Structure 1
């Protein structure tokens, strides 16, 4: 039974009555309710369905974005992940755009398939309101840093190895033990930092905040001004969400996404805004960031192709010229280590943040069914490699679904089914622009910021590591970076204060690994000199 105060969003909905242990009515709960612990967690089926749909809509951008990253880049042989050549000439100057389009369609279908299967598995086995899909950052590293050094099949083989290693860490209990070794102040800081990170992601996705052409790192809108219909739609969506939330309307987040999407479709139909990235490679600053919201035609519904599945070479990367090379092995080992550490701690941060936002953590700060949650996440990394879509991992956008009221794995089943349907209904999913989902992500940051009061800021042993964790997540655009910096400084301050014995041995080990992680550029340069 949950013992803490439910989050603000939960109080806006009527929770199902919780049946006390030993109650004679407890046996009347359905099998679905008992398995997913719906009543036990103070939820109901309607809230789980709404929460699952909100999570899907805030994650759906990956179906459009992953093909752009994975599907359009060539490997060392000049071939796309589909196996087709990217270029029409030997000099690699003329791109075969038809082949690129086919490759991107394959990646889109594979992305939705693996995300759907893994999210359903998380719901049924992990019983946690957590969506999984191709990890951003991990896919970029694969496309821009790893694949150019080898074939796509070999690159996906490294992803599978990363998944195998992280699964072994779960099966041996090491990953679970590391999760439990994180001290409470750092757990709180991770949750708050992720709230700011999610807010920043939402604002960037909608173009409300963006990278300027000038010298400042970021700016408001275009040259410091909120210009263009897409930004207007995003702001309208946020204000609508605030109104619905303030009025305690059930399903406020889902309604906000749907109504804002309808508004976006109308705006596009009337004003012909168009995309940000044009076909000739130029950019239109006031265009839609990712999806152009428009009603699909019958021709848009094409049969999905799953050609990326199973294209994996597990050993080829280690023997690029037909024989083993110790130098190549060390370099690849460092790449796999980077993938593993990023995947490992992104998940730790996400699970903690979701648990705290949904009041799902026990008195020791651990979620229910932790072993199963971490196992599914680890298997998802392997599945992403086998599916040819890059490592799949837990999505912090799930916090939007939790904010809507999701508390159980049933919400994840709903999210997963939506992903599977999107394989065949991609044009309908493409009607939801990022400008409609961004307001929800930004609003989730508000919900998660409330936990900042739980950090003792007067105590430097907790305050300084918590501060670094919180600020580095959005500023470095990396959950893993924030966690790593916080861990290292936490251990360092304890050492300076003569309290090293208070730090869990696993936290010392993890901090040492993070030192290597942050110094991987130096290590790679040393390996290159061998």
Structure 2
């Protein structure tokens, strides 16, 4: 049944490999189960209710991705956009979290409409190959940067923005040892190398006192907690003129973060066809759209495709069965949240660092003899980690691409849609900059 539905042999995989990939992806992104509730509770939302919404919305979106689109991309409430929800919209602008949830719900409905009309799929097809490659490279650098940051190897510095962390700290040593161990397992072509690396790093963290054993094994949010956010959004307040800008930001950021993430992951997994297009792209985008809408109903910020899906792809995940495993584990996580909490960010950091490095092999496919392709690809790549934003990296790529082409006398190579996207990104910087 699995073979017939997911076409495992055609994708060069098997149930065991898909399961291992799903577990790896889940462990790598499971931090969101605790990070998201911590973030949104600062906006006045119930922690346990958001935890429930996080797990269920991630499960629903990942299951749709796996069963409907048949890709190994996992989804969950997005990092960055949840910070905008909390610190910009609620705490900064003074809107109630119910109003902010209403804006997320409306943006989700707009996502669905745009996807049903295949407009977002048209956007993907319009993206030049150089920007697609730059996106993949940028995501690789971005993932590596996040891993180095989570391990404490790279830290903030008042003079140079970033600097080397204290390598004598236990957490940093766990990250370094975990990195070397995981790299060795991969070099030896050990099956499940990334997963075993995360488990070994977690054991090291426990021994070093960086992580703590849970007080209990089982835990489940109470119904009374869940009711505080379920269908609690305020649509009437969200439709007010002043909130339209917020809706647009939710729409804008998620749209281009998703497109950038999907393109980068697809390039890594070899899904793009000879034209550089992704088969069944509309189904991928629909899973994302529905995930956002379901998440808003349950009580969480925008749901999006996760960069950490790269860990499962690197582990050999090639079909939707990987995403189905992730979705199932998010549901199981509701019962075992204390155990999941044992895995610290420093234990998943080595996996992120290595995966990001593996994604840099796409640099071999850039047309280095054509600088009108190289420069936009480079700007797309470098601005993602430096601004901590996939959307901003895409913005620099899209703005620079038509301008460089036009000034080099090759304006006919630029499609009208690319010009429109460049204008849209410019408008974003001009009117919506935070």
TM-score interval w.r.t. the shorter chain? over 0.9
Alignment of 1:73-472 (within 5 A): 73=43, 80-81=44-45, 103-148=46-91, 149-212=94-157, 214-221=158-165, 225-268=166-209, 288=210, 293-298=211-216, 301-304=219-222, 305-307=225-227, 308-319=229-240, 329=241, 331-472=242-383
Could you give the per-residue CA deviations for residues 284-321 of structure 1, whole angstroms, max 9, x where no partner exists? xxxx5xxxx222233873544423221111121344xx
Q: Compute the displacement of 1:244 (Å).
A: 0.5
Q: Compute the displacement of 1:437 (Å).
A: 0.5
TM-score (norm 2): 0.95
Match of 1:511 among 422, 426, 433: 422
The answer (yes or no) to whether the contact 1:310–1:386 under 8 Å persists in 2 is yes
Partners of 1:104 and 1:396 in 2: CA distance: 24
Q: Compute the displacement of 1:466 (Å).
A: 0.8
Partners of 1:300 and 1:42 in 2: CA distance: 37
Could you give the per-residue CA deviations for residues 449-490 of structure 1, whole angstroms, max 9, x where no partner exists? 011121123322101101100100000110000011101100
Partners of 2:98 and 2:113 in 1: CA distance: 23
Partners of 1:135 and 1:182 in 2: CA distance: 23
Higher helix proportion (structure 1 or 2) = 2
Deviates more, 1:118-127 or 1:500-509: 500-509
Partners of 1:139 and 1:333 in 2: CA distance: 18
Specify the alignment match of 1:40 in structure 2. 10
The answer (yes or no) to whether the contact 1:72–1:104 under 8 Å persists in 2 is no
Distance 1:150 1:122, change over 3 A: same
Q: Compute the displacement of 1:108 (Å).
A: 1.5
Partners of 1:302 and 1:53 in 2: CA distance: 21
TM-score (norm 1): 0.78
Partners of 2:307 and 2:272 in 1: CA distance: 16
Deviates more, 1:144-153 or 1:158-167: 144-153
Partners of 1:133 and 1:150 in 2: CA distance: 24
Could you give the per-residue CA deviations for residues 119-162 of structure 1, whole angstroms, max 9, x where no partner exists? 11111111111111111111111111112422211110000111
The answer (yes or no) to whether the contact 2:217–2:338 under 8 Å persists in 1 is no
Could you give the per-residue CA deviations for residues 55-110 of structure 1, whole angstroms, max 9, x where no partner exists? 1111111111111210122xxxxxx22xxxxxxxxxxxxxxxxxxxxx22221122
The answer (yes or no) to whether the contact 2:216–2:338 under 8 Å persists in 1 is no
Q: Compute the displacement of 1:216 (Å).
A: 2.2
Partners of 1:299 and 1:492 in 2: CA distance: 57
Deviates more, 1:303-312 or 1:180-189: 303-312
Partners of 2:250 and 2:53 in 1: CA distance: 20
Partners of 2:215 and 2:31 in 1: CA distance: 20
Q: Compute the displacement of 1:227 (Å).
A: 2.5
Partners of 2:119 and 2:216 in 1: CA distance: 51
Quick one: higher RCO (CA 8 Å, sep 6+), 1 or 2? 2
Q: Compute the displacement of 1:188 (Å).
A: 0.8
Q: How many residues align?
A: 429
Gaps of 5+ in 1: 1-30, 74-79, 82-102, 269-287, 320-328, 525-530
Distance 1:509 1:260, change over 3 A: same
Partners of 2:216 and 2:256 in 1: CA distance: 43
Q: Compute the displacement of 1:510 (Å).
A: 1.1
Distance 1:172 1:238, change over 3 A: same
Alignment partner of 1:150: what SS?
Answer: coil
Alignment partner of 1:210: what SS?
Answer: strand
The answer (yes or no) to whether the contact 1:203–1:438 under 8 Å persists in 2 is yes
